[in-house]
Amino acid sequence: MKSIFTLMASLMIALCPAQTHRFIYELQYKMDSAEAGYEKVNMILDITPKEVKFYGKDLAIRDSLNKKFGANFSYTDMTGQVVKRKINSFDNENFINIKNGYYSFKTTDKINWIISNETKKVENYTLQKATTKFGGRNWTAWFCKDIPFNEGPFKLRGLPGLIFELYDAKKNFIYHLIKSQELPEVYPTDSFVESNFGNKAIPINETQKYKLIMEFYNDPFAFERNNFSKSNNDLKININGKEIRNVDELNTQTKSMQEVIRKYNNPLEIDKAMHYPKY
């Protein structure tokens, strides 16, 4: 790991004011737990003097491109793992896209680790094993005491060292630390974490979140349906490359979309997964 993961000496001392310690993880995950293949993305863990943020690298890339070219194209993170919290806290603010809106809700996610005496060497780093139960899954983490951050991917934090490797027992989610960076300032995320490219996050609670998700599942093409009702069926719309000419065809697309939503219902916190009905 030494060839791709270089830590500055300052990491061994303390957080510096107005600085971001960035750790990039490769995440392999299954949107459908029954499938053998993985989706693969890079995730960013930013640690600043006051806050910790975890989000998809593609969000930061899109934001950078927008600023460079004066554009405002949006991007939707499909991992469902965009969070921020105060330093040394288990209180998370979660961010999520639902329907055409962007929302935030707060959770407290205490992680109780069992630290093993088992260790292993990864190049020049000694990693120690720890296990926990979180989100309805059993997790194994390998952390490094020599890196003085009690952080890790998503909400899994609280060990006496930075998590290098993390995976659940069924290998639905696998994280590997692949890179670190030192940024001279606190990296701004207001346009793609606290907001989603122009849409400021609307605070809701988890009950409201479930209601919004179920409303979308029940009628994922509500906007198109409303347009049909106003146009006396003489409207033609395009959904995923298919021309829809009437409400019956829209209903067929609705059932297909509902099947897709049920199929890819494998969030990291599986104990909070939606229980979708079949119509």
Domain boundary among 140, 165, 199: 199
Distance between CA 29 and CA 38 in Å, rounded?
5
Range of the domain at 223: 217-272
**Whether residues 195 and 235 fall in one domain:** no
More confident residue, 106 or 231: 106
Q: At what angle do helices 222-231 and 247-263 cross, to 10 degrees?
A: 180
Query: How many alpha carbons fall within 13 Å on the CB side of residue 216?
Result: 15
Structure confidence at residue 231 (pLDDT): 58
- Whether residue 54 lies inside any domain: the answer is yes
Taking only the tens place, the pLDDT of each residue in 176-225 is 999 999 999 999 999 999 999 999 999 999 999 999 999 999 999 988 88
Structure confidence at residue 141 (pLDDT): 98
Taking only the tens place, the pLDDT of each residue in 109-148 is 999 999 999 999 998 899 999 999 999 999 999 999 999 9
**Whether residues 69 and 189 fall in one domain:** yes
Between β-strands 91-98 and 82-86, what pairing exists: parallel, antiparallel or unpaired?
A: antiparallel
Mean pLDDT of the chain: 91
- Whether residue 207 lies inside any domain: the answer is no
- Whether residue 212 lies inside any domain: the answer is no
pLDDT at 264 over 70: yes
Q: Which one, of 9, 13, 83, 14, lies nearest residue 48 by Cα?
A: 14
